[in-house]
Amino acid sequence: MTKKLTIYDTTLRDGTQAENFNLSVEDKIRVSLKLDQLGIDYIEGGWPGSNPTATQYFEEMKNYDLKHALIAAFGCTRLFHNPPEQDANLNALIAAKTPVITIFGKSWDIHVSVALRIELEDNLIIIEDSLAYLRPNVKHLFYDAEHFFDGFKNNKEYALATLDRAVRGGTDMLVLCDTNGGTLPTEIPEILTEVKKHLKETGQEVEIGIHAHNDTETAVANSLMAISMGATQVQGTMNGYGERCGNCNLTSVIPALALKMGYTFEAAEHLDKLSEISRYINELANLPHNRYQPYVGASAFAHKGGIHVSAVKRNPLTYEHIDPTRVGNIRRILISDQSGRSNVLHKAKKFGLDLDSKDPVVTSILKELKTLENQGFQYEGAEASFELLMRRALGAQRRFFDLKSFRVINQKSDMDQPPEAEATIRLEVAGEMVHTAAIGDGPVNALDKALRKALVHFYPALADMILMDYRVRVLASEHGTGARVRVLIESKDNESEWGTVGVSHDILEASWQALVDSISYKLMKDEHKKSK
Q: Are 41 and 269 in contact (CB under 8 A)?
A: no
- Going by the DSSP 8-state scheme, the letter that residue 116 receives in this structure is I
Q: Which residue type sits at 134?
A: L
Cα separation, 419 vs 434, in Å, equals 27
Q: Are 145 and 231 in contact (CB under 8 A)?
A: no
Task: Collect contacts of 387-394 with beta carbons under 8 A, ≥24 apart.
Answer: 387/347, 387/351, 387/521, 388/517, 388/520, 388/521, 388/524, 389/365, 390/344, 390/347, 390/348, 390/351, 390/353, 390/365, 391/351, 391/353, 391/524, 393/361, 393/364, 393/365, 393/368, 394/353, 394/355, 394/361
What are the structural domains, with CATH classification, of the chain?
6-284 (3.20.20.70), 302-375 (no CATH), 402-531 (3.30.160.270)
Cα separation, 527 vs 532, in Å, equals 9
The confidence score (pLDDT) of residue 353 equals 75
Please tell me whether the overall predicted TM-score, pTM, comes out greater than 0.95 for this model: no
Among 116, 207, 221, 114, smallest CA distance to 178 is for 221
Task: Output the furthest CA–CA distance in the chain (Å, rounded).
Answer: 89
The confidence score (pLDDT) of residue 282 equals 86
Q: Are 481 and 413 in contact (CB under 8 A)?
A: no
DSSP string of 95-108, one letter each residue:
HTT-SEEEEEEE--
Cα separation, 527 vs 463, in Å, equals 15
The confidence score (pLDDT) of residue 341 equals 63
How far is CA 402 from its chain centroid?
Answer: 40
Q: Are 223 and 233 in contact (CB under 8 A)?
A: no
Cα separation, 526 vs 518, in Å, equals 13
* Below-70 pLDDT ranges, the chain: 1-3, 305-314, 333-343, 346-347, 357, 380-381, 476-482, 531-532
The confidence score (pLDDT) of residue 241 equals 97
Cα separation, 374 vs 392, in Å, equals 20
Query: For 32, what's the count of Cα atoms within 13 Å in the CB-facing half-sphere?
Result: 28
Cα separation, 18 vs 245, in Å, equals 8
**Residue 73, CA distances (Å) to 9, 47, 378, 379, 423 in order:** 12, 6, 48, 47, 55
Among 174, 179, 286, smallest CA distance to 230 is for 174
Cα separation, 295 vs 482, in Å, equals 40
Any residues with CB less than 8 A from the CB of 420 and at least 6 apart, and which?
410, 411, 412, 413, 439
Residues 448-470, buried b or exposed e (16+ Cβ, 10 A)? bbbbbbbbeeebebbeebebeeb
What's the chain's Rg over C-alpha atoms? Answer: 29
Helix (H, G, I), strand (E, B) or coil at 234: strand
Residues 472-493, buried b or exposed e (16+ Cβ, 10 A)? eeebeeeeeeeebbbbbbbbbb
Any residues with CB less than 8 A from the CB of 391 and at least 6 apart, and which?
351, 353, 397, 524
Q: What are residue 190's phi and psi, to 5 degrees?
A: -65, -45
Strand ranges across the sheet with 485-492? 466-474, 485-492, 497-504
